[in-house]
Each structure stands twice: as structure tokens, then as C-alpha cells.
């Protein structure tokens, strides 16, 4: 008689899990449906028989002590797949890499974790700059206040299923390539739970949770932008049968501001300056999110020039400090002039040599864009 430990390729002090792992590896290699080489079927019988002996603690103890198998047959047929050490679970594990559906798992639990929830919240740009606390209304599933998650009407309790007797599973015989084997499936009477609820809670219909509206206060950190998500652990949907709550995700939407535009962590604003102020220079007070700030308009400022106010932008979300505020100057040209104003501007233009007359440009007549255009047209 061959040594069973040598047949499986394990040491004599191998654990049950090591023996089972070794058998699975050899069975996949030698099974007649996979390996048609001469002798493979006999080897498969040998390793199966060795596993049947060594996987049974009592048979293994007798074998280790006496070298005998206590009356077991050395052939494949004597032990069979219904032996104590080898059953349908092992066959399924060996050839399909997992347990039979519901096999050995016992009754299923009614308790399930609740789903995550997502809501959108709008905030102003100033709130994104500094952060804020905001109250939000959330409608989600909460623990049923009547049954407190038991799913049963108060004063009643679940009853053991009469069909599966609490196991949550039923067995049936099916034919396979390996002969007739027993399979397990969830009990259709109790849906695999092992118990039935004869009198479900009237408020939640036996689910253990109900829909409800509640108010939460969330902390919106400084620096958030449109699309930023804030995770509130355990504030989502309540689970069934008293299961834990999922998470709540708050997605931020930042409203457009009438004055400031955001670019990353910088802010941009347009400051309209009268033509005379831009020419002569002045100081203009501007309202910012940090209060009033003075903007120095130098004499001769042109449209498009930018004044940067350091550290008056958006707070960095993942770091320290803030971005900048960029003030873009736009020089305003007057559109309606009375006679006196028009006369003053004409006088100014004369003094600067910029007066217009009869469609000709006087003053710098031999230079600039207009001179080049005139010269080009004159050559044609």
C-alpha cells in the first residue's frame, strides 16, 4: 500500500488545510475529464483515496498509529464521494474555485448596509473663499421608530421556517459528470433567511426602515469649488433590518458672483475708470470679500492694465494661504457730451496736436498706423 502522505506530496505533520490544498491541486491536474493520459485515472483515484483518509481526523489518527485504514477500501469506489472527508463542497471548490451556492454558509442575514446618497448644495463664492456652515434638508431612509429595525410588529418575533428548519437552505439531488450529488439552494419559503415574519411591522412593512426628512448642518471648508464632494460617514440611507447607514456625499455647486470671477484660487474683477481719472491718476476705493481696499490708478493708465492685490483670493483647499485678486482696469470713454464738454475736449486735442479736421489726421502725420496706411494707399 502506498503512503498517503507521499501520494499527496505533503509532510506527515501537514495541517488539514495543507492537505486539502494539495488535493485540489492534484485533482485539477489528474481528473479524467481533464487528463486523458494513460494512468491518470488511477492516479486520480489514489490521491482521492489518500485525501479521504487524511482529511478525516479519526481515520488519519488510526492510519498514523497503525499504518492501516481501519477497514477502508484502497479503491476509489469503496470510499465514494459521499464519504465523511469528501463531499460536494470539495468537488465544487476543486473544479469551480468556490463553494456551492449557499453551501455551508447557513441562513442569510436580513441586515443589510444602507446605500450611499448624493445631494447637491449651492453656495455663494464668498462662502467658497472663507468656508461656511450650512444647513441642508435630506430625505433618506431612517431606522423605523416603531419596530426599531426588528421588522416585526411590536410584541411579535420571527418564527423558524417550517421548510428548512432554520438553515435557510434546501437540498436536492442532481446528476452530474461525477454521478449523483447533493446541491443546496436558498429556501424558497423564507428566502434563505431561516426565519419568517408572521406579523410584519405595519409602519415599515417589515423592512425595518422608513423614509423621513431631516436637517443636517455641514461644514463647508474654505477653498471648495464646483464639483467638490464632502463625505459624511454614516449619514446616508439606513440599512434594512437595522443595518448600518451608508454614507452621504454632498456635491458643491458655487453660484456665479456679479463682481468676481474665479480662476483656480485667484479672483478677477473689472474696475471701470473714467477717462479723465485714467489720464490724471487717482485712488479708487473698491469693495472686496475682505472689505474695502484702495486701488491706485496711476496717471496715464490704459485699459487692460492689471493691479494685483496679494492674498485676497480664494483660500487654498489643501494647504495654507490664499490666491490673489486681479483687478483689471477698463477706461471708460464718454459717449454723450454737452457743448461745453465737447469744446474742452477739442481744445485739449488742439493742445496735444490730436485735432481731427476734414477727415485728415493732423499732428503726427508722418508716423504711426495712420501714416503707414496713407502711404500705402498713395502708392496705388
Q: Binding site for Zn(2+), residues?
A: 144, 147, 161, 164, 187, 190, 201, 204
- Regarding beta strands 248-254 and 117-123, do their DSSP bridges make them parallel or antiparallel, or are they unpaired? parallel
Q: Which residues does the annotation place in the binding site?
A: 144, 147, 161, 164, 187, 190, 201, 204
Distance between CA atoms of residues 4 and 93, nearest Å: 21
Give the chain's length: 380
Please give the sequence-ordered ranges of beta strands (E in DSSP) within 144-208, or none if there are none.
Answer: 159-160, 169-176, 179-186, 195-196
Distance between CA atoms of residues 221 and 141, nearest Å: 27
Q: Long-range contacts: 118-122, Cβ < 8 Å, 24+?
A: 118/248, 118/249, 118/250, 118/251, 119/248, 119/249, 119/250, 119/251, 120/250, 120/251, 120/252, 120/253, 121/218, 121/220, 121/250, 121/251, 121/252, 121/253, 122/253, 122/254, 122/255
**Grid coordinates representing 261?**
470671477
- Regarding beta strands 325-332 and 266-274, do their DSSP bridges make them parallel or antiparallel, or are they unpaired? parallel
Strand-pairing partners, residue 377, are none
Amino acid at each position: 500500500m502506498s503512503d498517503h502522505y507521499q501520494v499527496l506530496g505533503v509532510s506527515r505533520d501537514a495541517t488539514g488545510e495543507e492537505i486539502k490544498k494539495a488535493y485540489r491541486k492534484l485533482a485539477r491536474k489528474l481528473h479524467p475529464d481533464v487528463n486523458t493520459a494513460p494512468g491518470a485515472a488511477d492516479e486520480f483515484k489514489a490521491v482521492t483515496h489518500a485525501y479521504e483518509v487524511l482529511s478525516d481526523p479519526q481515520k488519519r489518527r488510526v492510519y498514523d498509529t497503525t499504518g492501516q485504514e481501519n477497514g477502508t477500501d484502497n479503491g476509489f469506489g469503496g470510499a465514494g464521494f459521499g464519504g465523511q472527508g469528501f463531499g460536494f463542497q470539495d468537488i465544487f471548490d476543486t473544479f469551480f474555485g468556490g463553494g456551492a451556492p449557499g453551501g455551508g454558509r447557513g441562513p442569510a442575514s436580513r441586515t443589510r448596509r444602507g446605500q450611499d446618497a448624493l445631494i447637491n448644495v449651492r453656495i455663494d463664492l464668498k462662502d467658497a473663499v472663507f468656508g461656511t456652515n450650512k444647513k441642508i434638508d435630506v430625505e433618506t431612509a431612517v431606522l423605523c421608530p416603531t419596530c426599531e429595525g426588528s421588522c416585526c410588529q411590536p410584541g411579535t418575533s420571527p418564527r423558524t421556517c417550517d421548510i428548512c428548519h432554520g438553515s435557510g437552505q434546501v437540498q436536492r439531488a442532481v446528476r452530474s459528470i461525477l454521478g449523483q450529488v447533493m446541491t443546496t439552494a436558498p429556501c424558497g419559503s423564507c428566502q434563505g433567511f431561516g426565519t419568517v415574519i408572521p406579523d410584519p411591522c405595519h409602519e415599515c412593512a417589515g423592512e425595518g426602515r422608513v423614509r423621513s426628512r431631516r436637517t443636517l448642518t455641514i461644514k463647508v471648508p474654505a477653498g471648495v469649488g464646483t464639483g467638490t464632494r464632502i463625505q459624511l460617514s454614516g449619514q446616508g440611507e439606513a440599512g434594512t433590518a437595522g443595518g448600518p447607514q451608508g454614507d452621504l456625499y454632498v456635491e458643491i455647486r458655487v453660484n456665479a458672483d456679479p463682481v468676481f470671477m474665479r480662476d483656480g484660487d485667484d479672483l478677477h474683477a473689472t474696475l471701470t475708470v473714467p477717462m479723465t481719472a485714467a489720464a490724471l491718476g487717482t485712488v479708487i476705493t473698491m469693495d472686496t470679500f475682505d472689505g474695502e481696499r484702495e486701488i491706485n490708478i496711476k496717471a496715464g493708465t490704459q485699459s487692460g492694465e492689471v493691479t494685483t492685490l496679494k492674498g485676497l483670493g480664494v483660500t487654498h483647499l489643501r494647504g495654507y494661504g490664499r490666491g490673489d485678486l486681479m483687478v483689471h482696469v477698463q477706461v471708460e470713454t464718454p459717449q454723450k457730451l454737452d457743448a461745453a464738454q465737447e469744446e474742452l475736449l477739442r481744445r485739449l486735442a488742439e493742445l496735444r496736436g490730436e485735432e481731427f479736421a476734414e477727415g485728415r489726421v493732423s499732428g503726427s502725420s508722418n508716423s504711426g498706423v495712420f501714416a503707414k496706411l496713407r502711404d500705402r494707399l498713395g502708392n496705388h
